[in-house]
């Protein structure tokens, strides 16, 4: 039987095995796309300047056979040449650092050249080789060289130790996968199938097997999570894919995925899964500051982290936050960075969308330049990815931010101050143009010359951040502005027909230039291409064509719609026809009507209810009227507040576990309690939804509307109606979670009777009926009498 073959680049090999030293995120040096482009151009310039027999970009590879695997190491030497009869390997590195302050090459750079030297020397049958490290400054193009000579035998011994250290990881990985795959042979779906679950399971399995894209709309309670995870796991066990990414918008939905894996492990599955948690939640410090001066776990982190990860990986199967922190404590390493390193070796990763799709946060180990793999993307609550995608691929710069920085640095860094002045003048010209229009925003054909000016600013900021004597507060402010500039430059390279460039006067930031990604599908697609297949699923993905257009460029993507498996007679949907949340109708009389509807609904049966409002302001106004005119002793109210802590959120939800009396939770539509919250049985028996959820009118929404009108779509639907209705459906989905649940859904806005809304109601809402303030009490009472 042919041995498995593992390929790894020279650079990845040495950077993995030989990394050492401190973890330090205080520098702005980011290795971003622009730095790579500059480095590439400088590489080629240096290579062209070399004389004689200089060979550039020489491809090299070496296969090494072990008992269980063949490891192929490959890469390209920047240059190979002879000088005075000696053969040299040239390794060129671009940097923003002070190259004259260097007293030796960076060890991992030197190791790359040593690998190339050994492979070339062995291939050519020579006994000795020289390496040359060429460092070049990316701005000034100044160069500095270091030279060293080795015997090929010496390099062979060194290389074998390097490869043996890597083989240890590969050997365990291969053995684990055999054990993992064997555990799946008799693995069955862990529950009796609900109606619709078989459709999801077979659809996901077929999609993964054929490497396609699937959209699944299935009502809350169908069991989408297990129905997506189970066939994906089976496909991995059959070699149809390699790594499972379960992507979420909120931590709570990641918890549901962890529970699904736990159930499968109880049935015999062996499958290593880690959840990537926000740095702040894993960090041992009160405030994450990843510098050796501020954090003892950052000092010497890279000297210890490989041993820490190997032990964690090989001794545990469940990587909870507590397990990760315990191992990090033992080895004195950063728990967040250790978790990221662990992710390369596990079978499944549960994480936020950002870790796959965000150009600034994505896992470079999986989604960096020229990296791809056989990944399955299970994208939960996928309706959230539209707005999140727009945020990830948009950027902006305010004039106020660059003026503020200029004031801080003008005396000390005059060169940067002059460039900031130039950018300020360019933005002032745009601000004057905006003022002439008399509008709140102005759409531009492109960003103009500003990206070029900010490119210069970026380079100057890089140089300043290399200074060791920079005061802490100033460094922080410069670094913050550097990241703003970097994001702007990165996004400016993406601007195409899916973008709108505009200026506006923002209440928070003053005048700003914004690069707004209207349709994120193209950018999301660049990351989806790095995997094998994607499954988007949600309880609210209607109309599906809208989501397909905004989430994927795969023209072969298809969708399935799963009907609710729960008895319709267990819930009642009522639409108030004499009430509205329109701004023009917001007054004391309307608030009293809304409060009256709420009271008449909750008075009919003891239990827990949630009332959802389009804004905090409306919620507070109605709550005041409710408490003044409709308050009764046996009904208790709790109210969501802005910026609730995690502990406060948990406390709010714990209130709904009580079974005594009646509790009414006043919440905000589209907020933390309107989706991803699982209150089953008597924990929640009713939801009152005030308004159609339309987003507030603003520059961004109006730009969306204009953009889609020009695309011959209904711009109002794309900018307002569909996002709003999604919030309504999510909130309504809190009520019926299991086949035993019973409850009332009360929609309070006469606009729900408009044809445009009726057409986008779910199919299972066909039994909806109307009511008025004077009839709602009887309708709710009649419903609950069925169960007495």
Q: Express each pLDDT in 125-137 by its tens digit.
A: 999 999 999 999 8
Burial class (CB in 10 A: 0-12, 13-18, 19+), 663: buried
Report the pLDDT averaged over residues 625-631.
96
Q: Determine contact, residues 593/771, Cβ cutoff 8 Å.
A: no
* Cα separations in angstroms, 261 against 145, 341, 582: 53, 21, 45
> Quick one: how far is CA 533 from the chain centroid?
17
Residue 220: half-sphere exposure toward Cβ, Cα within 13 Å: 22
Question: What's the pTM?
Answer: 0.91
Residue 471: half-sphere exposure toward Cβ, Cα within 13 Å: 6
d(CA 41, CA 431): 35
Report the pLDDT averaged over residues 4-21.
94
Read off the pLDDT band of 371 (50, 70, 90).
confident
d(CA 99, CA 96): 8
Sign of the Cα torsion 586, 592, 595, 600 reads negative
The per-residue pLDDT for 35 is: 61
pLDDT at 596 over 50: yes
Read off the pLDDT band of 264 (50, 70, 90).
very high
Instruction: Return the exposure string of 685-711: e unless at least 16 CB atoms fall within 10 Å of the residue's CB, then b.
Output: bbbbbbbbbbbeeebbbbbbbebbeee
The per-residue pLDDT for 34 is: 54
d(CA 363, CA 373): 13
d(CA 66, CA 619): 68
CB count in 10 Å sphere of residue 325: 19
Residue 484: half-sphere exposure toward Cβ, Cα within 13 Å: 19
Sign of the Cα torsion 515, 521, 524, 527 reads negative
The per-residue pLDDT for 36 is: 60
Q: Candidates 3.90.800.10, 3.40.50.300, 3.40.190.10, 3.30.70.20; correct CATH number of 190-271+347-393+520-565?
A: 3.40.50.300
The per-residue pLDDT for 744 is: 98
E strands, 230-335, are: 243-248, 273-275, 318-319
d(CA 337, CA 282): 10
* More confident: 540 or 752: 752
Q: Determine contact, residues 562/221, Cβ cutoff 8 Å.
A: no
Report the pLDDT averaged over residues 507-522.
95
The per-residue pLDDT for 41 is: 80
- pLDDT tens-digit map of 422-460: 999 999 999 999 999 988 999 999 999 999 999 999 989
The per-residue pLDDT for 481 is: 96
Q: Which of 247, 131, 230 is nearest to 190 (CA)?
A: 230
> Quick one: how far is CA 654 from the chain centroid?
29
List phi, psi (to 5°) of 240: -85, -15
Report the pLDDT averaged over residues 46-59.
90
Q: Determine contact, residues 343/276, Cβ cutoff 8 Å.
A: yes
Burial class (CB in 10 A: 0-12, 13-18, 19+), 161: exposed
pLDDT at 637 over 80: yes
pLDDT at 756 over 70: yes
> Quick one: how far is CA 190 from the chain centroid?
30
Report the pLDDT averaged over residues 301-326.
95
CB neighbour list of residue 315: distance below 8 Å, 6 or more residues apart: none
Q: Where are the chain's structural domains?
A: 5-172, 190-271+347-393+520-565, 395-517, 568-785
Q: Which of 55, 68, 90, 69 is nearest to 8 (CA)?
A: 69
d(CA 378, CA 332): 34
* Cα separations in angstroms, 303 against 216, 293, 316, 740: 46, 16, 22, 55
Q: Determine contact, residues 606/784, Cβ cutoff 8 Å.
A: no
Intra-chain end-to-end CA distance of the chain, in Å = 68
Q: Determine contact, residues 215/536, Cβ cutoff 8 Å.
A: yes
Q: Determine contact, residues 471/26, Cβ cutoff 8 Å.
A: no
d(CA 522, CA 130): 46
Fold match between 190-271+347-393+520-565 and 568-785? yes
List phi, psi (to 5°) of 611: -120, 125
Q: Determine contact, residues 386/520, Cβ cutoff 8 Å.
A: yes
The per-residue pLDDT for 30 is: 45
d(CA 638, CA 623): 10
Pairing of strands 662-668, 608-613: parallel
The per-residue pLDDT for 720 is: 97
- pLDDT tens-digit map of 77-123: 999 999 999 999 999 998 877 888 899 999 999 999 999 999 999 99
DSSP class of residue 194 equals P
Q: For Cα atoms 527, 531, 537, give the angle at the middle one, nearest 5 degrees.
A: 80
Read off the pLDDT band of 468 (50, 70, 90).
confident
3-state helix, strand, coil in the chain (%, to 5): 45, 20, 35
Burial class (CB in 10 A: 0-12, 13-18, 19+), 672: middle
Q: Which of 705, 727, 720 is nearest to 756 (CA)?
A: 720
Report the pLDDT averaged over residues 24-36.
58
- pLDDT tens-digit map of 218-247: 987 788 999 999 999 999 999 999 999 999
pLDDT at 157 over 80: yes
The per-residue pLDDT for 635 is: 95
DSSP class of residue 609 equals E
Out of 31-35, 65-69, 431-435, 757-761, which region has the weakest mean confidence (pLDDT)? Answer: 31-35
The per-residue pLDDT for 682 is: 87
Read off the pLDDT band of 10 (50, 70, 90).
very high
Q: Candidates 3.40.50.1100, 3.20.20.140, 1.10.10.10, 3.40.50.300; correct CATH number of 568-785?
A: 3.40.50.300
Report the pLDDT averaged over residues 173-182.
96
pLDDT at 31 over 90: no
Out of 34-38, 46-50, 72-76, 191-195, which region has the weakest mean confidence (pLDDT)? Answer: 34-38
- pLDDT tens-digit map of 698-748: 999 999 999 999 998 999 999 999 999 999 999 999 998 888 999 999 999
Q: Determine contact, residues 216/562, Cβ cutoff 8 Å.
A: yes
What value does the mean pLDDT of the chain take? 93
Read off the pLDDT band of 33 (50, 70, 90).
low
pLDDT at 40 over 90: no
Torsion of Cα atoms, 287 then 293 then 297 then 298, to 10°: 100
User: 5-172 has which CATH code?
Assistant: 3.90.320
Q: Residue ranges of the alpha helices (H) in 332-471? A: 335-343, 354-357, 364-367, 385-392, 399-409, 414-437, 450-465
> Quick one: how far is CA 734 from the chain centroid?
25
Assign 174 to helix, strand or coil: helix
Q: Which of 398, 347, 345, 339 is nearest to 376 (CA)?
A: 347
Directed axis angle between helix 197-210 and helix 224-237, to 10°? 40
Sign of the Cα torsion 345, 347, 350, 352 reads positive
Q: Candidates 1.10.275.40, 3.40.50.150, 3.40.50.2000, 3.40.50.300; correct CATH number of 395-517?
A: 1.10.275.40
């Amino acid at each position: 039987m042919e041995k498995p073959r593992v390929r790894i680049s020279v650079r990845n090999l040495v950077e993995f095995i030989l990394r050492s030293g401190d973890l330090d995120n205080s520098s702005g040096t980011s290795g971003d796309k622009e730095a790579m482009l500059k480095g590439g151009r400088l590489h080629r310039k240096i290579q062209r300047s070399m004389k004689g027999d200089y060979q550039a970009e020489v491809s090299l590879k070496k296969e090494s056979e072990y008992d269980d695997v063949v490891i192929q190491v490959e890469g390209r030497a920047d240059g190979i040449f002879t000088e005075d009869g000696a053969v040299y390997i040239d390794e060129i590195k671009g940097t923003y650092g002070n190259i004259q302050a260097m007293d030796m090459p960076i060890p991992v750079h030197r190791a790359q050249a040593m690998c190339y030297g050994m492979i070339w020397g062995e291939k050519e049958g020579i006994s000795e080789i020289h390496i040359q490290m060429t460092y070049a400054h990316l701005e000034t193009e100044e160069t500095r060289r270091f030279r060293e000579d080795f015997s090929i035998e010496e390099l062979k011994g060194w290389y074998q130790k390097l490869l043996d250290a890597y083989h240890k990881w590969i050997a365990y990985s291969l053995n684990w996968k055999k054990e993992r795959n064997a555990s799946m042979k008799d693995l069955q779906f862990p529950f009796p199938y609900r109606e619709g679950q078989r459709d999801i399971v077979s659809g996901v399995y077929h999609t993964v097997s054929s490497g396609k894209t699937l959209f699944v709309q299935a009502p809350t309670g169908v069991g989408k999570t297990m129905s997506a995870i189970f066939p994906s796991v089976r496909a991995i066990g059959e070699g149809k894919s390699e790594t499972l990414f379960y992507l979420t918008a909120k931590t709570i939905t990641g918890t549901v995925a962890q529970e699904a894996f736990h159930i499968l492990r109880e049935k015999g599955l062996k499958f290593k899964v880690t959840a990537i948690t926000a740095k702040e939640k894993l960090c041992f410090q009160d405030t994450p500051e990843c510098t050796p001066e501020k954090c003892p776990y950052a000092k010497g982190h890279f000297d210890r982290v490989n041993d820490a990860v190997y032990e964690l990986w090989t001794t545990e199967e469940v990587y909870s936050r507590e397990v990760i922190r315990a191992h990090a404590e033992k080895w004195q390493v950063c728990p967040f960075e250790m978790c990221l390193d662990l992710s390369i070796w596990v079978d499944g990763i549960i994480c936020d969308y950002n870790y796959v799709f965000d150009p600034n946060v994505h896992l470079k180990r999986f989604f960096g330049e020229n990296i791809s793999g056989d990944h399955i993307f299970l994208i939960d609550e996928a309706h959230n990815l539209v707005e999140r995608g727009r945020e990830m691929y948009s950027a902006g710069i305010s004039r106020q931010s660059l003026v503020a920085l200029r004031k801080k640095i003008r005396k000390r860094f005059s060169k940067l101050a002059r460039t900031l002045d130039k950018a300020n003048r360019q933005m002032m010209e745009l601000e004057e143009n905006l003022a002439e229009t008399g509008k709140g925003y102005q759409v531009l054909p492109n960003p103009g010359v500003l990206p070029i000016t900010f490119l210069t600013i970026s380079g100057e900021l890089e140089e300043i951040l290399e200074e060791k004597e920079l005061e802490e507060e100033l460094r922080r402010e410069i670094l913050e502005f550097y990241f703003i500039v970097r994001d702007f430059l990165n996004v400016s390279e993406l601007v195409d027909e899916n973008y709108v460039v505009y200026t506006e006067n923002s209440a928070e930031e003053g005048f700003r230039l914004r690069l707004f990604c209207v349709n994120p599908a193209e950018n999301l697609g660049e990351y989806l291409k790095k995997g094998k297949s994607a499954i988007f699923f949600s309880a609210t993905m209607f109309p599906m064509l809208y989501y397909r257009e905004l989430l994927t460029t795969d023209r072969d993507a298809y969708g399935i719609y799963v009907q609710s498996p729960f008895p319709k007679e267990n819930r009642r949907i009522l639409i108030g026809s004499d009430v509205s949340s329109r701004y023009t109708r917001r007054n004391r009389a309307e608030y009293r009507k809304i409060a009256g509807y709420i009271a008449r609904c909750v008075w009919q049966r003891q239990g827990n209810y949630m009332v959802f409002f389009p804004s905090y302001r409306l919620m507070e106004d109605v709550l005041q009227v409710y408490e003044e005119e409709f308050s009764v002793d046996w009904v208790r109210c709790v109210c969501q507040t802005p910026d609730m802590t995690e502990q406060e959120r948990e406390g709010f939800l714990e209130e709904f576990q009580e079974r005594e009396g009646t509790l009414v939770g006043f919440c905000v539509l589209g907020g933390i309690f309107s989706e991803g919250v699982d209150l089953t049985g008597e924990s929640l028996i009713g939801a009152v939804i005030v308004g159609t959820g339309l987003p507030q009118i603003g520059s961004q929404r109006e730009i969306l509307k204009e953009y889609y009108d020009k695309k011959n779509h209904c711009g109002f639907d794309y900018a307002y109606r569909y996002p709003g209705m999604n919030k309504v459906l999510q909130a309504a989905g809190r009520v019926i979670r299991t086949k035993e649940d019973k409850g009332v859904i009360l929609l309070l806005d006469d606009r729900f009777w408009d044809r445009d809304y009726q057409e986008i109601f779910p199919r299972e809402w066909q039994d909806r009926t109307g009511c008025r303030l004077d009839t709602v009490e009887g309708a709710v009472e009649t419903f609950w009498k069925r169960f007495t």
